[in-house]
Amino acid sequence: MLRRLVLRFARDRKANIAVIFALMTVPIIFLLGMTLDYTQAARKREQLNAAADAAAIAAVRPAMLAQTDPDVVKATASTVFAAKANLAGLSSVPTPEVTVADVGLARTITVSYTAQSVNNFPSVLGKQTWQVNGSATAKASSAPNMNFYLLMDDSPSMGIGATTTDISNLIKYTASAYQSAAGSQNCGFACHETNIAKDGGTKDNLAIARQRNITLRIDLVTSAVNQLLNSWSSCPQSGISGGVMQCMSVLNNTTYKAALYTFDLGLNELAKLTTPSSAGAQVSNIALMPVAYQNCVVPTTNCKTDNGTDIATALTNLNKIMPDPGLGSNAAKDTPQEVVFLVTDGVEDKISATCPNATFAGNSRCQQPLDTAMCKTIKDRGIKIAVLYTEYLQLKTPNIPATNSWYMSWVDPYNGPTSLTGKIAQNLQSCASPGFYAAVQTGGDISNALTDLFIKVATSTASLVQ
């Protein structure tokens, strides 16, 4: 009888859902509670990670990179972290661990934390809090102190009209209709001739350009250097007088000095290494190289050449002036980094006994793209070279009204298929330190191009590593 009742009970399936539900209630509640508390802890971890990111970045801002006391750096990072880590649902505001590692100009900041997220179901999980942790690392290099040697091309080719319209106007106003005698006529260059009668002309082309308000490339270069050293209206920080260099010096918390040179047959010193403002006072002295008359760069009676651009010799002489560079830090006995800023159209026109393509037999006039050997010598010393290529315009139709036969014979072979991709441009890019090359086409904004290149050289930015 008893055995029959037991078997009957075992076979009975009535109300089994209620039994199963009762048995599953405990694990379901446990899982729901754990999911809720885990989700809340994960959200808190995301917020704390953001606080760690902000703290790490704050410790490598330019003003902090100038701070040599690691305790001050750590305190700054901790303050930023605490301001963002005061979150509801934590047992307490976590105290971060901040490490500072300086190697040369580079600084690495790591901000790590451990926090306790308060559980909503402590009895279910068997603990009052859920531990979360994380870290953030930021790295930056402080902007170095730098000496800038501005090397501006003032050779006759920089007397070309600044735009195709300026070139056309020069050709127009140097034609025979505007000059009663022959000379440098139908010329897109404002050649600065000091003995016009000797050349058979009646007016210096530079004087014609000034009279007709024709802008020359040398004018644009002068304006660009003026913006760099004397006057810049776009400085992000108000109240700073001077040019781009003075503005960036304040923003980067650095010391900059500048020297100003031009070059043609040789190196011309306008300002020795000095403050940007003192160098800026000499900007007005940037001027186009004068020539005696056509085919005569010096006042002698047997001239046969218009040569006037020796870039390699200018770099050679400047290399003798520049000291070996330092790291550019503020550490005792350290010295600034050294930087050459070369602005040119990239074509050498010089006397060379070893020139493979002499223009005139007997005087070895050499026209060629820049010989980069001296660039390598300078860079091998640890000196940076920044190059702004002012396009050597293709002086042939349809670019200008009349094709220039001299250009076609001696420059065009190096200046194609375009002036930005030919051998002239290639050699200038090879001369520049990696990343420090820029080109601006005829009619382009040389001032902004030079400013952008300077900022690229001078600016250091912070970045999160993880």
Look at residues 354, 264, 374, 344 and name the one whose alpha carbon lies nearest to residue 310: 264
Percent of the chain with pLDDT over 70: 83
**pLDDT band for position 311 (50/70/90)?**
very high
* Least reliable range by pLDDT among 100-109, 168-177, 193-202, 271-280: 193-202
Residue-wise pLDDT tens digits, 250-268: 988 899 999 999 999 899 9
Q: Is there a contact between 351 and 344 (Cβ–Cβ < 8 Å)?
A: no
pLDDT of residue 281: 97
* Least reliable range by pLDDT among 191-195, 259-263, 314-318, 382-386: 191-195
Query: What's the mean pLDDT in 96-124?
Result: 85
pLDDT of residue 360: 55
Q: In 178-209, which positions are buried (b, 16+ CB within 10 angstroms) versus exposed (e)?
A: ebeeebbbebbbbbbbeebebbebebbbbebb
Look at residues 381, 372, 345 and name the one whose alpha carbon lies nearest to residue 431: 372
Position 1 pLDDT exceeds 70: no
For CA atoms 436, 264, 216, 294, give the dihedral sign: negative
pLDDT of residue 16: 59
Position 353 pLDDT exceeds 80: no
pLDDT of residue 338: 97
* Least reliable range by pLDDT among 1-5, 67-71, 197-201: 1-5
Predicted structure pTM score: 0.75
Look at residues 68, 59, 65 and name the one whose alpha carbon lies nearest to residue 97: 59
pLDDT of residue 15: 54
Residue-wise pLDDT tens digits, 390-429: 998 887 766 665 566 778 888 888 998 998 999 999 999 9
pLDDT of residue 110: 94
Look at residues 39, 288, 15, 312 and name the one whose alpha carbon lies nearest to residue 154: 288
Structure tokens at 192: 């600065």
Please tell me the distance from the alpha carbon of residue 100 to that of residue 121, in angstroms, as a whole number.
39
Percent of the chain with pLDDT over 90: 47
147 DSSP β-pair partners: 257, 338
Q: How many CB atoms lie within 10 A of CB 48?
A: 26
Please tell me the distance from the alpha carbon of residue 315 to that of residue 287, in angstroms, as a whole number.
19
Place of tokens 């127009």: 172
pLDDT of residue 3: 62
Look at residues 370, 377, 390, 385 and name the one whose alpha carbon lies nearest to residue 312: 370
